[in-house]
Structures are given as C-alpha cells and as structure tokens.
Structure 1
Amino acid sequence: MIQTMKDIIRRCCAYGMEYKDHEGHTHGWITHLPAIELDYNTIQRSTTAKDFHDIWKRECDKVARCIAEEKDYNKKRHEKTHKEPEFRKFYQVLVSTLNFDNPKGPKKMRDSFLVSFNIIKLIGTNAVEVKLSEAFSRKYLVFPVSLVKP
C-alpha cells in the first residue's frame, strides 16, 4: 500500500516539481497531497483496505518508539559508566602533556603529566581553569577534565 502511495506521488512529480497555474500561483506536489489522499482512501474503502492515516501513523509511531528506546538505552549506558569529577577549587592537579609541544625530545620519551598546578575555578563539570607557571604562560588556562588528573 505504501508503494502504491509512492507511485501516485511519483506520477504527480513526473512533469517537474513545480508549475504555475493560469493565475500565476506556484504549485508543487505538496499541494496535491489532499487530493491524492482522498483518491487513495476512496480506492482503499472500495477494496476494504486500510486508510492513508492508518498506514502512515503506524510508521511514524514505530520510528518514534525506536528513537525513545535508543535514548533510554544510551542514558542507561552513560549512567552506568559515568562518574562525576571530584575536583574542587584550589586542588592540586596534574595536567596532561598530550597537546603540549616538547622541544626537548620525542613524544614517547616525555612524561605523560606535568607538575601539579592549582585549580583557579571550575567551569561546569567538564573543564577546569588552572594557574600555570611562567614556563607555560603562553598556554591556554582552561583544560577539559579528561586531560587533568588529581
């Protein structure tokens, strides 16, 4: 039945997506949907099949149900593995050297974390602002929680 509906719409679109009537108004295939729906329902009533709205509402409900199930699954999965960071203002933390340039040698040979720095403030639950020493004064002060270790 849905394939029949697609065929009807495809036939409406066969001569272009838009046309102008004798009054100059532009029409597209969307303006024909009510007429297509009426014709389709008339055919379906004579053959005792389902109506247009019954078919399409069921499809929309199925999609909405699948999306809701996926949201629930992802929420449960996130809550199972996620833990809130335990940082507070003035805590000492180590900052990852992942994005730092190291002129002293290769990346494999350097330390994973720098010396400890004090947290100046928390920015939401996902970032911290630290007070860096003079050697790192040109670096940005805000780091994501994933690059900071207590």
Structure 2
Amino acid sequence: MGIYEYTRMPFGIKNAPAHFQRMMDTIFQEEILESWMVVYIDDIIIYSETWEDHVHYIDRVLSKCIPINQKFSLKKCNFGQQELLAPEHKVSGLSLAMDQNKVAAVVQKPVPKSIKEMQSFLGFASYYRNHIKSFAHITSNAAFSQGLGEALHQIQIVDVEPGEGVIFYISRQLKDSDAKYGATQTECLCLVWALEKLHYYLEGAVFEVYKDCTALKSLLRMKTTNRHTLRWKIATQEYRGNMTII
C-alpha cells in the first residue's frame, strides 16, 4: 500500500483542461496582460512586430519556466514564423485563414443521405461559417427566405495588399419571434445582433457602419417607449460607431 500521485496532468479527467488553463494564466499573467502572448491550455503563441522583440519575449517566457520545471517538446516548437496554425486556423500578421486540410475534409465528406447525416455535415461545416458569406442562407431549408447577415471589414494599412480585407462574415436565420418586425426594425435587429456578435473586435474601437436603410438612423434617434427599440438604442450607445447610409 502507498500513495499514488500524478507527476503530470493526466488525460481524461473532466476538470483537467480548466485547471491547467488556470495554472498557465496565473504563471504568464504579466505576459498576457502586455498583449504579446496567447495561452490556450498547453499551446503558447508569442507574437511581435520586430525580431529583436520576438527573441526578448521568448527569453522571458523560457526564463519563467525554468524555476517551476516546466518543459517543452522541441519538436513541437516553431520559432520566428510569419504564419502558423493556431487551433484549426492559419494565422499571420495580415490574415486569419482556414486550414486547407480541414477544408479538404469538408469537401471530401460524402453526400448526406439522411437527416442525421445532414445535421452532422452542417455542424461539421459550421466551424468555418465566419469565412463563408451568407452561410445561414446557403444552409437554410427551402421554405426559409429571410435571415440576418453582416461582414466585418478592416482597411489594410500595409503596402502588401492595399484596400479592404474581410475579417468575418456572420449570419443567422430569422427566428419565429423576429417575423413580426418590419423592414426597419429588422435592420436594427441585424445591427444590434452584429455589434454583440463582434463585441470583442469593436469594443473601444472607432469604426464605420454602412447601411442602406435611411429610416434606421431615425429609428435609433426617435423618442419611444417601445421596449425592443429602447433595448436596441441602449445596446448601440456603448459603441463608437459612425453610421453611413449607402
């Protein structure tokens, strides 16, 4: 008889990922707050604008790991990369793209032959819905004719690819409760839904909103006691967006 104790985090324990993530966040709290490091469980991404900063950041991370006996597998490490695969996406300084191996897996999937297989396929393909324009409309059933859709663009300020670049496409079908809204209210619903969906990108940022509904501006400015409109007005007031009618 004796005491059995793990010396490393074992697989299969329900709370293991959350516990490990909390430990990593505590260890690298300063680095994460300085916004040059991202930690996702046992994956660490260090990013910088210059090579000198990159070397300095790597040195800081490794120096912090030595006293606590934290080890890395060298064959799993990549240094000085201009692009990399971070959970299922290809990330670079200019873009966030789909992993072509995952795209090939979707393309090569057999044609669904039952409702269950169709549901499985849609769930599988939905992982990359942010990269597919009007995904909700494309995958909707034949009886469905309306939905919400927006796109988040960023003006490129580098010489490599001047112009606008798409960051995300977002879309969803209209719910039964949304069918009672008129055209202007639906436009407002779409705006508020998009702001909430893209909150982490837009919070604190100055941005432009392009809409083709002139009445939308009036709806957000008018005095009203309608609870839906009031909620939408309050939701838009926390953002620094400027609306342009096109």
Higher relative contact order (CA 8 A, sep 6+): 1
Greater Cα radius of gyration, structure 1 or 2: 1
Q: TM-score, normalised by structure 2?
A: 0.17
For normalisation by structure 1, the TM-score amounts to 0.23
